[in-house]
Structure 1
Amino acid sequence: MLIKHLPSKIWSFFCLTGNVANSFAIDPILGTITVAKELDRSSKTAFELTVKATDGGIPPLSTTTTNAMLVYQIVEPFAHNYFAIDASTGVIRTTTALDYEQRSVFHFTVQVHDLGMPRLFAETAANVTIEVVDVNDCSPVFSQELYETTVIVPTYKGVEVIQVNATDSDSGPNSKLLFSVSEGNIGDKFKMDPITGIISIQNVTQLRSRYELKVRVSDGRFAAVATVKINVKENKGTIIAAVGNQVNEPLFYKILNPDSRFEISRTSGVVSTTGISFDREAQDTYDIVVEVTREDKSEDGAHVLVTLTVEDVNDNKPVFVNLPYHALVQMDAEEGQVIRQVKALDKDTGPNADIHYYLKEHQEHFELSPSGEISLRKKFEKDSLNTDFVVVVVAKDNGELALSAEVEVPITVVNKATPVFEKPFYSIEIPENIQLHSPVLHVQANDSEGPRIVYTISEGDPFKQFSIDFNTGVIHVVQPLDFETHPAYKLNIRATDSLTGAHSEVFVDIILEDVNDNAPVFLSKTYYANISEASVIGTSVLQVDAKDSDTGHNQEVFFMLVEERGKSSNYFSIDRDTGIISTAQVLDHEEIQQHKLKVRVVDGGVPALSSDVIVTIDVTDLNDNAPVFTEHTYKTTISELAPREHFVSQVQASDADSSDANKLEFSIISGNEDQNFAINKHTGAIIISNHRRPHMQPVYNLNVSVSDGVFRGSALVVVTVIGANFHNPTFSQVEYLVELVENSPAGTLVTCRVYKKKKKAL
């Protein structure tokens, strides 16, 4: 045999142990082992040699055939309660269930040594940190099973009654709690904040003397229930005037319906603001409920409602409405004729909202009343026909620091024969699904000299969706309307005098009201994602998205999972607003490899419209299963004369992890010390090796192992060897002398002995 060595170094070989009677010799340079003397199997059937190789360095280094084998072990004793390590591969696995709430992180060390003599250890042990990921496996717990409190009447809406508290041993999103009232809230008298757990008064009318509420807290998976008893009692104390009175004991004040804008001094009862700004236009009054009690916090207390009114400040200037303004006035109009009315609004109140109007500049022909009416001050001259005047109107409020706004009003002087519309402009809103040929609006002009006025649409109707009655001026819808393609129209309506041909025009704004006539549409026809089976509960998988061509509430979309027979929806949840799909249960590739979810998007219209889409989620495999042999014990029989590479048996194994199906490797870990057998690491076929001994033992117990790279499985292969006929029979002596009586009958036994050399056991 030849021992291989690294060519980069010069090695010296010699036998360390096992060379009984110097039966073998080894070339110190080449490492070739040869037989030094005749061997006698009857005296020794096997030799086990240990070869040592030493290099030529300074200091010299050496190795033996077992020095390269490594053994891993966990150092700290406590870690053995939770983890075990494969001594040969270093793979760490759990030996018991872990609990994040008991211990969320483990720190321990792993040491490694070889099998040389003496054993050598790594200079520094490896530090191992294992963090336990929290899953939602703990129920929330109320701080008390029973809460009890008293409400003193009269009371007011928003008054805090009691706050319940609960905790959850989980962490992160798994510990977020939501509170609600599940039973007993007769007449909806109470309201519960879902985040803080504060129960407050919702309705003060006809309160009963006693309420028993069942309140529920949930973490999204588990829930708990507690009882809240509320006693309602009349105020037996007296209202104490704290101003100008000298009381014998201190009083304490508290706001029962807290508002971030106000605070109260606990001992003086002075209510003050906190610095948060107010906006009277948004909210002009605030109601706070103040409770006063004695030091012993007895039931002899009193409540009072304090209403705070926000005083107005002139911070809004007037705003003109019904814009734009335009007016026509006939050439022969009389003095005092009202031409146009302007109007402005102010969001302030009181004097700050009182508005008066005036002309920015003096006008020869026009005047303006304080109420906003523009009238003719002086008749027009003959050359004023078709003249355009621009009047600038100012609207000013009566605030201490007055604010104002101005607007231009164009006024055109027209011939008497020119029709004049009743309004300077028209505006209307109609639903987009209005029935065809429905009347929309009636425009009317007068003061013409001809027998009648003819109405036409001159501009603003590119798709011919409207028509106007020539005689009456009634506008109809004649073609379907669609808010999504054309939300508004500005029609130019012309009124023509049938006698003179004189005409005037007016704008008609037609604004379409959106109708929920478009179902929401997903941005993708299908969705696909994959997720590891090791993902914790709450892991985001993917996000679906949809759009709706409608507007307003009709455009709002909400997502939901549709329950189906496959029950894949039980494994996932979806955020109704964002469309993010997350895991709701632990996934197992070996149980379900693929989930198909039906996701529905619903809009906010009435009636609501919806669309569905299929979401396919593949669960990727994780190596979380050990390979398993098809049998615990394999039994086979071979002849002692079987040649090398003779097939002995084949072991088979399987792994529940699909990703490991082609990664299994087989090996013989013990029972093959003489190297009589070899195993194909890929197929598991066991054959007689090229190193087989001439004579074999009657039985071999081979421990075989299969590994997927992380986990191992083992089985026993029992190989029974049938003995072979190696020796010829021999006589115990060369000559035999037998005396036989001459009259012996036929068949008399003539004794002789023949011996067969027995095979000695290996």
Structure 2
Amino acid sequence: MLAGWWPADPMDCSRRMCLLLLLLALGLCLQRGAHAEHVRDLEVSEGAPVGTRVGYIGDGSSSDSGPPYLIVPVPGSAVDSDLAIEQTTGEMRTKVPLDRETRASYSLVAIPLSGENVRVVVRVLDENDNAPTFPTQVMGIEFPENTPRDVKRTLHPARDLDLGIYNTQRYNIVSGNVNNAFRLSSHRERDGVLYLDLQINGFLDRETTAVYSLLIEALDGGNPPLRGFMTVNITIQDVNDNQPIFNQSRYFATIPENATVGTSVLQVFATDTDAGENGQVVYSINRRQSDREGMFRIDSTTGLIAVNRPLDFETKEVHELVVVARDHGMQPLETTAFVSIRVTDVNDNQPTINVIFLSDDATPKISESAQPGEFVARISVNDPDSKTEYSNVNVTLQGGDGRFGLATRDNIIYLVIVSLPLDRELQPNYTLSVIATDTGNPPLHASRTFHLRVTDINDNAPEFERMVYYANVLEVADPGTSVFQIHAVDRDEGNNSALAYSILDTPDTHSTWFQIDPRSGLITTRSHIDCETDPVPQLTVMARDNGSPPLSSTATVLVTIHDVNDNEPIFDQSFYNVSVAENEPVGRCILKVGSVSIHVCV
């Protein structure tokens, strides 16, 4: 600041700067006591280019002796970094672009050589360089569809860092305001913020418009104004303001009098434009006004009307139902429709079929040992129309692959019999249907389907995968060593297929060397084995079922015992005596010792 007052040496400058500041502070204090301080106010726009002249320290008053000045910035005012001050002339210019929102003023004290101190305050004037800004870009709110007109909800206000007219001045709905359903209102509080409210402008109807997406803009007072935007997503909550509506006001249906209970008659259908529980429709029959006997029922969810009790044309030909559709709202709404059901006259007496199974426990089963002609079940057929033209009934048997048939003598009692031999292992179950048809017009049919189970007898012996198995084991194996696991299957079931394994004792086979687990079929060594005694012992393994009487089968297991060097050579006698003639030629064998073939030669 004090150009030419300081030596060129930087270290010397630093020391002298500290001393000068102390002297200046002391001088200011003394001058304040001796003279009144003169204040100089200057202004500059925050948009001014770098180098813009702010003004002069001196104002030409008599109390100001004029430049040169000693400049003392107020601490923290950033005068040195943002302003350039010519001490010899007192001219002040901008060094950097100014921003009022960052720093609104600068303060310094200018000390002339003589005269009063000048306190300079530079105020930064505001420009419209900030657009209104909402705190969030998207906001969500909800309104029940029965919300009265003029009800308001407070929205997030936009804030503008600029002042006065350049601050937020108004709000507009740019788009999304279907049918002009909403309007905006605003008010300014003491904090200077322009607060925003969204108001109902008409009547809301979720069934017409369920969601609004309003684009709201905030404008300041600049020319042209700067804008900020926010999207407000509005969900219209449903209330139960719509009753269910049937797709027809009256329904007609026809049903024969022999329709069985549960037979579908027709389906009514109603819709409710409300949402959730308010739009969920349930159906019922008004029993006070119709169908007090409960001849029909309705599915509360689907609206399907079905026969609930046997119908009789001769008793009542037409049934009039009042069907109610009700929603699930807290205060449910409902509507009604009329259903006319005409019952038609038919041959309404079906034959009846009664089946008695002739097994020991009266269940549908037959032994696979049953011979052709053996009885399976007794069937009695009756037609309530026996005194009318519908008295004759034809009975047939379906299913069973031709292995069963019907026998009768009086066309009233029928017997299901075995026609062909049975084999449970080939087919364990049969589905048979007895069908009775009267000769009415139209004829009526009755059927009875049952599942016949063929019970097992022990007619299948266990079966090995092969007749001969081969196994290997070392002759040094300890007792309990696993040798081989054998497996057999039995096509019977239950106890008839439960198998137990054993090793048959046969002479000279050394079968006692081995043992078998009766359940798993695992063959292990029972004792020490000897390759020199029997290198390939043969075992006969039997699998036996638990039937009555039991059946069994056998297989052969050839066990190869692998030799190890566990025997030293043995002479057949401990002392040999031989005589040799003196004229025996050289090389003649005179003695052979045992199985080791040791030759003694001359």
Q: Under a length normalisation based on structure 2, what TM-score does the superposition of the two structures give? A: 0.46
The structure with higher relative contact order (CA 8 Å, sep 6+) is 2
Which structure is larger by alpha-carbon Rg, 1 or 2?
2
Instruction: State the TM-score, normalizing by the size of structure 1.
Output: 0.37
